[in-house]
């Protein structure tokens, strides 16, 4: 649970920026031109383009760019010093970033704060999922690793609720509170890192975790594996070796596909998207809370089924469900707003739209959400694990950055077609899983080469 706190920090960031960027007082202070454009109906040719601004998306996306860069340093720190220092540094940098964001007086400070938060996320996402997969007995590795994703979804929901509350603060400084409260998960992570045992120094710990003295065989396996890993000097060169092609392919494609589901359109921009589609301020922030709640609840489903039914079943079912709901949303937006983006939603339409989006979020939350962090950490043998995870984190962050930066302008140009665009990717990835993903449930992490 303590290690999974890293997920909280990740999730809080994902959930907080969309709500903040839909708050008028925030836009007025940092992005007055966006606010003017939004108010001046004549200035934007269609509803689809209401919020289109590269500077505004930079506020959201800059964090993921920093996380991308940081994950490479984090890999070296994790390999050399262990998971704990990595989590500690991540939490600390994140703490400074959240303070800067809370007191920011201009866009520059705001973005520097976001970059520091990104460094924190890079470190946390590198170390936490690996730590969890290594700690867990094979039979419940899926469930324990999903602790990370579970915490991320709780962070997203908490951010949605906080935005809903702070938007109502008179005086227009609510967004400061929203941004500064990121300090709470950061402090939890710093304290957590100090209290955690490290996987590198492990026999006593292993006995404590397993609740038995009889851990010699398993311990020996770990020692052998780690000796072998120490002999290997170049994890980066190794992962490029031919025998690790499957791992390299999976560590690259899984995060790519995870982001190309389009999930972060909802996670980052739900309030903005709902406002674009004509929802009021309150309704927009409330919708983010609803999707956030569905996200948390559906993640619980994956915790209970991932070690029973396996990763493949969840990914295939989740993929199919996402395709259906995305196509339905695309058709609905097309019918209501057409190509020129003029139209309104009735109350029934709006409810149906929120429902369809919830069906989509639920599917992601029990499939690609958790598996995107679970599978890459468990399929890599120790000698390439930190390199594999660095690739996973950086590819994930690269495409998170890409979606965060381009979504508002993609929506403006591709209109309802954007939903079909993502559906095509989900079809591709579902076929990919069907053809290429080995089932890893219940396979001890040291014996993964049996299946990969």
Binding region for ligand BGC (CB under 6 A): 14, 149, 152-153, 156, 258, 263-264, 267, 295, 369, 372-373, 396, 400
Query: What is the number of helices (H) and of strands (E) in the chain?
Result: 20, 0
Q: Is the CB of 235 or the CB of 369 nearer to ligand BGC?
A: 369
Nearest-approach distance from CB 255 to ligand BGC, in angstroms: 8
Pick between residue 262 and residue 341 the one whose CB is nearest to ligand BGC: 262
Q: How far is the CB of 15 from ligand BGC (least distance, A)?
A: 8
Q: Cα separations (Å) of 112 from 97, 185, 186?
A: 8, 19, 17
Diameter of the chain measured on Cα atoms: 74
Give least dist CB 156 to ligand BGC, A: 6
Say how far apart CA 119 and CA 400 lie, in whole Å. 14
Helices 311-337 & 417-436 angle (0-180, nearest 10):
170
Q: Which is nearer to ligand BGC, 376 or 381 (CB)?
A: 376
- Measured CA to CA, the distance from residue 101 to residue 159 in angstroms comes to 15
Q: Measured from the CB atom, is 160 or 381 closer to ligand BGC?
A: 160
User: Minimum CB separation from ligand BGC for residue 149, in Å?
Assistant: 5
* Virtual torsion, Cα 143, 147, 148, 150, nearest 10 deg: 110
DSSP assignment string, 189-217: HHHHHHHPPPTTS-HHHHHHHHTSS--HH
| Whether 314 contacts 305, CB under 8 Å | yes
Residue 436 CB, shortest distance to ligand BGC, in Å, is 20
By beta-carbon proximity to ligand BGC, the closer residue of 222 and 437 is 437
For residues 133, 139, 142, 143, the Cα torsion angle rounded to the nearest 10 degrees is: -110
Q: What minimum distance in Å lies between the beta carbon of 158 and ligand BGC? A: 12
CB closer to ligand BGC, 69 vs 206: 69
C-alpha separations of 44 from 25, 262, 270, 271 in Å = 21, 24, 20, 19
Report the candidate in 378, 416, 312, 362 with the shortest Cα–Cα distance to residue 144: 378
Residue with tokens 């590269």: 54
CA 337/CA 277 separation, integer angstroms:
9
- Residue 241 CB, nearest distance to ligand BGC (Å)? 28
Residue closer to ligand BGC, measured from CB, 38 or 430: 430
Full DSSP string of 372-384: HHHHHHHHS-HHH
Query: How far is 439 from 309, CA to CA, in rounded Å?
Result: 10
Residue 434: how many other CB atoms lie within 10 Å: 12
Minimal distance, residue 14 CB to ligand BGC, in Å: 4
Pick between residue 31 and residue 373 the one whose CB is nearest to ligand BGC.
373
Tell me the closest approach of the beta carbon of residue 417 to ligand BGC, in angstroms. 22
Q: Are the C-beta atoms of residues 139 and 445 closer than 8 Å to each other?
A: no
Nearer to ligand BGC, 22 or 396 (CB): 396
CB of 365 to ligand BGC, least distance (A): 6
Q: Which is nearer to ligand BGC, 77 or 265 (CB)?
A: 265
For residue 348, count other CB atoms closer than 10 A to its CB. Answer: 8
């Amino acid at each position: 649970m303590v290690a999974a706190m890293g997920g909280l920090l990740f999730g809080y960031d994902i959930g907080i920026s969309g709500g903040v960027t839909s708050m008028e007082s925030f836009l007025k202070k940092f992005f007055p031109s966006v606010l003017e454009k939004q108010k001046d109906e004549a200035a934007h040719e269609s509803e689809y383009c209401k919020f289109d601004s590269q500077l505004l998306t930079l506020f959201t996306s800059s964090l993921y760019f920093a996380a991308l860069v940081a994950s490479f340093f984090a890999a070296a720190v994790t390999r050399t010093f262990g998971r704990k220092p990595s989590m500690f540094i991540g939490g600390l940098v994140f703490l400074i970033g959240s303070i800067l964001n809370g007191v920011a007086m201009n866009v520059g400070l705001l973005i520097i704060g976001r970059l520091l938060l990104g460094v924190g996320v890079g470190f946390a996402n590198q170390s936490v999922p690996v730590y969890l997969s290594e700690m867990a007995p094979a039979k419940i590795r899926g469930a324990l690793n999903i602790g990370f994703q579970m915490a991320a979804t709780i962070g997203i929901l908490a951010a949605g609720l906080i935005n809903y509350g702070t938007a109502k603060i008179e005086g227009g400084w609510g967004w400061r509170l929203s941004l500064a409260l990121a300090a709470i998960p950061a402090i939890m992570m710093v304290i957590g890192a100090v209290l955690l045992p490290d996987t590198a120094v492990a026999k006593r710990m292993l006995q404590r975790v397993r609740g038995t003295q009889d851990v010699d065989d398993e311990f020996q396996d770990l020692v052998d594996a780690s000796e072998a890993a120490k002999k290997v000097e170049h994890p980066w060169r190794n992962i490029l070796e031919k025998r690790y092609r499957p791992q390299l392919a999976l560590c690259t494609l899984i995060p790519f596909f995870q982001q190309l589901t389009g999930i972060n359109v909802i996670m980052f921009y739900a309030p903005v998207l709902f406002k674009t589609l004509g929802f009021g301020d309150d309704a927009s922030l409330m919708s983010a809370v609803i999707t956030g709640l569905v996200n948390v609840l559906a993640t619980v489903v994956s915790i209970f089924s991932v070690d029973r039914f396996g990763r493949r079943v969840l990914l295939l079912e989740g993929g199919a469900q996402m395709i259906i709901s995305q196509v339905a949303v695309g058709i609905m937006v097309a019918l209501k707003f057409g190509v020129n983006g003029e139209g309104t939603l009735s109350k029934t339409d709006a409810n149906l739209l929120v429902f369809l989006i919830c069906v989509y979020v639920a599917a992601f939350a029990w499939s690609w959400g958790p598996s995107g962090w679970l599978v890459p950490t468990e399929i890599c043998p120790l000698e390439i694990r930190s390199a594999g995870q660095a690739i996973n984190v950086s590819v994930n962050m690269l495409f998170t950055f890409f979606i965060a930066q381009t979504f508002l302008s993609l929506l403006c140009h591709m209109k309802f077609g954007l939903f079909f665009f993502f559906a095509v990717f989900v079809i591709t990835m579902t076929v990919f899983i069907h053809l290429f993903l080995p089932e890893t449930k219940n396979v001890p992490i040291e014996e993964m080469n049996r299946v990969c």
